[in-house]
Amino acid sequence: MLKILVPTILLTPTPLLIKKNTLFTLTTLYAMINALLATQLFHLPMNTGTSLINQHFFADKTSSPLIMLSYWLLPVMIMASQNHLKKEPYGRKQFFLTNMVLLQTLMAMTFFSSNTLMFYILFEATLIPTIIIITRWGNQTKRLLASTYFIYYTTVGSVPLLIAILFTTNYAHSNFLLYPMQKMSTLGHDMLWMALTLAFLVKMPLYGLHLWLPKAHVEAPIAGSMVLAAVLLKLGGYGIIRMSPLYPKNTWLFYPVVATALWGILMTGMTCLRKTDLKALIAYSSVGHMGLVVSSTLIQTPNSTPAAVLLMVAHGLTSSMLFCLTNMLYERTNTRTLLSTRGMHSITPPLTNFWLIASLTNLALPPSINFIGEIQIMTTLYNWSPITITLTATGTIISAIYSLQMFMGTQHGLLSKDSKEVYPAAERELLILALHGLPMALLTINPQLIL
């Protein structure tokens, strides 16, 4: 594990030491080398449950796919941001890349953490680079308002989490994240369960606590949207999974939370049907997909956790790819409105192919990795309560409708008059999309790498 963490920490000051002409090239290359080093986690002896454990850090089959996802997307985010930063001064480019590398380092250390208090500190530390990305490099006028929403929602949810962690640590005389606290179930504190869960439900986010997410996505630059959708939302699901040994098993509060998550799948799907802003549409789609993850992690059946991790990885790749495609359209047309981006297939056929792949995976077309994750979650929810199939199946149908509507609205129809001078796809853009499609194809062929 030190072979992975040490290069990651050393990468943080790298953008400050690189010469101007090779800033993006060398930073991307170094990040890609770290991503290849992180693939060693596939070879851990997972049959023992927990691997490479020491006093502070560990990795297992739950954390390693999310760690590799965060490593893999860092060089992709750097490449996707080149066009956005081309007019920025050299010092600001250095600051941006340093901030991105720092955020990725904090996310990786959060997934590696084996200490509850350290996990909380690193979990909240990811907030700072994210706020900087949104407020400093966001193009829209309401980016400060979006950051305010983000700060208030996450802070209000995290304070009860800190109190609950300190309480459980004092009660069990241990701060090990995987400590089997069977004694906690005898306490029967419903408020303890809610305190341990609230911060992660906000981070996911749960429907009803999601208002910060569309605002943050719309105002953030492409790198901010990618990291929010692909990794930062997954910290919520990972936190629920890790804190599950601390939960009082006799609480009744998780029933309304599961019901709210399932109801949110329908409500966000209906919202997506009437959205005209591509970024907002993808953001609300993420809330719906995370509703499945929330339900799967809370019921705590043997098959629900691997299915939730699988869907988190699949959604991370798919949503990141959709945001990249949206940004490529925005750079060409200076708009994200569906009606203004129609007819792109006649100018950018390669991008149309990737739009089709991303849309089909977003609607969970068999045999994609998204389909495997969703069908397993639907099966576990049905075994837990048969009535859930009504909400999950209806949500799947709505997801298919708005995904196809998104594809048809951007690629088909007559070309807008404002899009006559749209340039074709560049090699850098095709490489970015290929780096999303490659792991999606590999996981579709062999989902046992995660399950």
Q: In this structure, is residue 262 part of a structural domain?
A: yes
Q: What percent of the chain shows pLDDT beyond 90?
A: 36
Tell me the β-bridge partners of 59.
51
Residue 449: what pLDDT? 77
Q: Which of 120-124, 164-168, 365-369, 421-425 has the lowest mean pLDDT?
A: 421-425
DSSP letter (8 states) at residue 248: -
Share of the chain above pLDDT 70, in %: 89
Q: Does pLDDT of 174 surpass 80?
A: no
pLDDT greater than 80 at residue 141: no
pLDDT at 226: 92
Residue 377 lies in a domain: yes
DSSP 45-57: -GGGSEES--SSB
pLDDT of residue 47: 45
DSSP letters spanning 395-448: HHHHHHHHHHHHHHHHHSSPPPGGGTT-----HHHHHHHHHHHHHHHHHHH-GG
pLDDT, position 42 = 65
pLDDT in tens, 376-428: 999 999 998 899 999 999 999 999 999 999 998 888 877 766 655 677 788 89
Tokens of 308: 């939730």
Q: Which residues contact 170 (CB under 8 A, 6 or more apart)?
A: none
Amino acid at 187: L
pLDDT of residue 48: 47
What does the alpha-carbon distance between residue 290 and residue 5 come to, in Å, rounded to a whole number? 28
Instruction: Round to whole Å and give the CA distance between 434 and 360.
Output: 16
Query: pLDDT digit string (tens) for 31-46?
Result: 888 888 777 776 665 4
User: Domain limits at 406?
Assistant: 255-451
Distance, in Å, from the CA atom of 52 to the CA atom of 269, rounded to the nearest integer, reads 41
Question: Quick count: other Cβ atoms within 10 Å of Cβ 427?
Answer: 7
Q: Is the pLDDT of residue 447 over 70?
A: yes
Residue 269 within any structural domain of the chain: yes
| Domain contains 90 | no
| Run of H or E including 87 | none
Total domains in the fold of the chain: 1
Q: 28 pLDDT band (50/70/90 cuts)? A: confident
The yes-or-no verdict on residue 355 having pLDDT over 80 is: yes
Residue 75 domain flag: no
Q: Which residues contact 365 (CB under 8 A, 6 or more apart)?
A: 371
Instruction: Note the pLDDT tens digit of each residue in 293-336.
Output: 999 998 888 888 899 999 999 999 999 999 999 999 888 888 88
Residue 129 near residue 100, CB atoms below 8 Å: yes
51/368: higher pLDDT:
368
Residue 61 has pLDDT above 90, yes or no: no
- Is the pLDDT reported for residue 99 higher than 50? yes
- pLDDT of the residue at 374: 93
Could you read off the pLDDT of 206-246 as tens digits, one per residue? 998 888 998 888 888 999 999 998 899 899 999 988 887 66
Answer whether residue 29 shows pLDDT above 90. Answer: no
Query: Residue 83: which pLDDT band, with cuts at 50, 70 and 90?
Result: confident
Residue 78 lies in a domain: no
Distance CA 222, CA 215 (A): 14
